Amino acid sequence: MSPHHVETDCFRRQSDEFIRWLAQKPGVRINPKIKVTDLRSQGSGRGVVALSNISNGEELFAIPRNVVLSVNNSRFKNLISQSLEDLGPWLSLVVVMIYEYLLSEDSAWSAYFQVLPTSFDTLMFWSKSELSELQASAIVNRIGKQDAEDSVLELVAPIVRSNPTLFPPLERLSSYEGTDGNNALLDLAHRMGSLIMAYAFDIEDDTHDSSDEDGYVTDDEQLPKGMVPLADLLNADADRNNARLFQEEKFLVMRSINDIKAGEELLNDYGQIPRADLLRRYGYITANYAKYDVVELPLGIICEAAGLDDAKLKDQAPLQFLEDLGILDDGYSVSKPSSNQSLAEYFPVELLSLINTLTLTREQLLEYRSKNSPPDPVLRPPQAHLLLQAVQRRWLQYATSIEQDIGILGSLLHTESMQVLERSLHRKRMAIYVRIGEKEILRQLSTTLTNFISISGANSSTKRNAQSDDDERPSKVRSRTE
């Protein structure tokens, strides 16, 4: 058998064992019309497909609450003196998952760990040079790797080190002390943290009826998180979702929310996520998410465009004013403009308030300060001009043009003879799509603002001409009557 076949065989065997393990748990129901399948050839790992037609509202599977891998369900909380609650939903589940993972075959979830990935394409795992392909995307500053590692060392490491019998050292390690121990622990924590980020659900308590709500992660930082076997094998593709998890009293139930044809993939809803953020959280992108792309206009660039001294930005009177009102941000996300929006609707209200404040005279600013309210978020030529300057400066932060990016993508496709791209090339390609998306928004904003300014200029000069015609008319009239 070729290495490829051995690999495929092992992958399939793990999927089958996982389903066998899950199906024999008391209370679990799995609709025979669905199947876990190998979608690696299309770059999406495992997924779930319909074997025959499924009607809207059909139950796809039901997982009893006690089968969820969570802080509440793991024995770990009974084995330590310390409460895990102080760690918050993320880190407490990280600790519990490390514990369960190290239990290996003895864990109640060992068959589940077999189908969870051990490597990721999320931005946390990209090298510096891979990240540089995202160019000026604001996402690079939001990966938070250092913060994550600081919290692991401060809050998780002491628990692990003070309970050596519960956390046996990994192979070739004598303990979780010292540099090697630290690194091993950080690796484990990153792995579990990334699984939680891309796989976990926020688990509402059993009194909460979520039947009217969105089923996937709500990003509520307070709700406990849980790994829901099988529910997290559903992939997602923007608004192509056809299934949703309903949190009922005793079960978490996945149901179809559309008719699904035999052979179609079951897709969950990860949310309306810009591609940059999708890469950060899930490590993949598809073209269907392009409509949710955003570009960030950082405060610094807007102030630079307004001619404010960068040195102590927040000490500047206009910014201080907005800060006092609680509406100053470090940056503003601008979404992809759509044709049914007016120009002002392209921009968040807080950004328009900033731009309007920056275009006030000193006297006007004092006046607004005395009223304790920001200027109206309108967009007239002076504000459009300032925004255009900011957009153009932002554009210059990206090292290549859209056309160059398209050329690079083309050359990557030539080197891509194999079905699945080599990992680094795959990441590069995704990064290029993300930066193109952001540049396209900047280009669209730039064109629209330029048109608006020139039309307003033409209108005001037409008005001026009309005005001067009006001014002249009386004299002509006068001249006739004279």
Ligand X SMILES: C[S@@+](CC[C@H](N)C(=O)[O-])C[C@H]1O[C@@H](n2cnc3c(N)ncnc32)[C@H](O)[C@@H]1O
**Least Å from the CB of residue 342 to ligand X:** 34
Q: How far apart are CA 380 and CA 445, in angstroms?
A: 15
Stretch that binds ligand X, among 128-136, 281-289, 337-345, 446-454 (CB under 6 A): 281-289
Three-state DSSP state, 244: strand
Q: Which two tokens stand for residue 408?
A: 């690079």
- CA torsion, points 270, 273, 279, 282, in degrees to nearest 10? -10
> Contacting ligand X (CB under 6 A), which of 6, 23, 25, 43?
43
**Least Å from the CB of residue 278 to ligand X:** 9
**Least Å from the CB of residue 277 to ligand X:** 12
Rounded to the nearest 5°, which phi and psi values hold at 291? -65, -15
> Contacting ligand X (CB under 6 A), which of 199, 201, 246, 433?
199
Strand segments, DSSP code E, in 387-452 are none
Q: Which is nearer to ligand X, 175 or 258 (CB)?
A: 258
Stretch that binds ligand X, among 15-23, 27-35, 127-135, 235-243 (CB under 6 A): 235-243
Q: Which is nearer to ligand X, 87 or 245 (CB)?
A: 245
Alpha helices, H only, 117-228:
128-132, 145-151, 157-162, 178-199
Q: How far apart are CA 296 and CA 116, in angstroms?
A: 33
Q: Which helix (H) or strand (E) holds 30?
A: strand 29-30
Q: How many CB atoms lie within 10 A of CB 221?
A: 10
Does the protein bind ligand X through residue 337 (CB under 6 A)? no
Does the protein bind ligand X through residue 282 (CB under 6 A)? yes
Find out whether 190 and 148 touch, Cβ atoms under 8 Å: yes
Number of residues that bind ligand X (CB under 6 A): 17
Q: Which helix (H) or strand (E) holds 195?
A: helix 178-199
Does the protein bind ligand X through residue 202 (CB under 6 A)? no
Does the protein bind ligand X through residue 58 (CB under 6 A)? no
**For 207, which DSSP code?**
T
**Least Å from the CB of residue 280 to ligand X:** 11
> Contacting ligand X (CB under 6 A), which of 233, 303, 384, 441?
233
Q: Which is nearer to ligand X, 234 or 442 (CB)?
A: 234
β partners of residue 176: none
Does the protein bind ligand X through residue 44 (CB under 6 A)? yes
Q: Which residues bind ligand X (CB under 6 A)?
A: 43-47, 117, 198-199, 232-233, 235-237, 282-284, 286
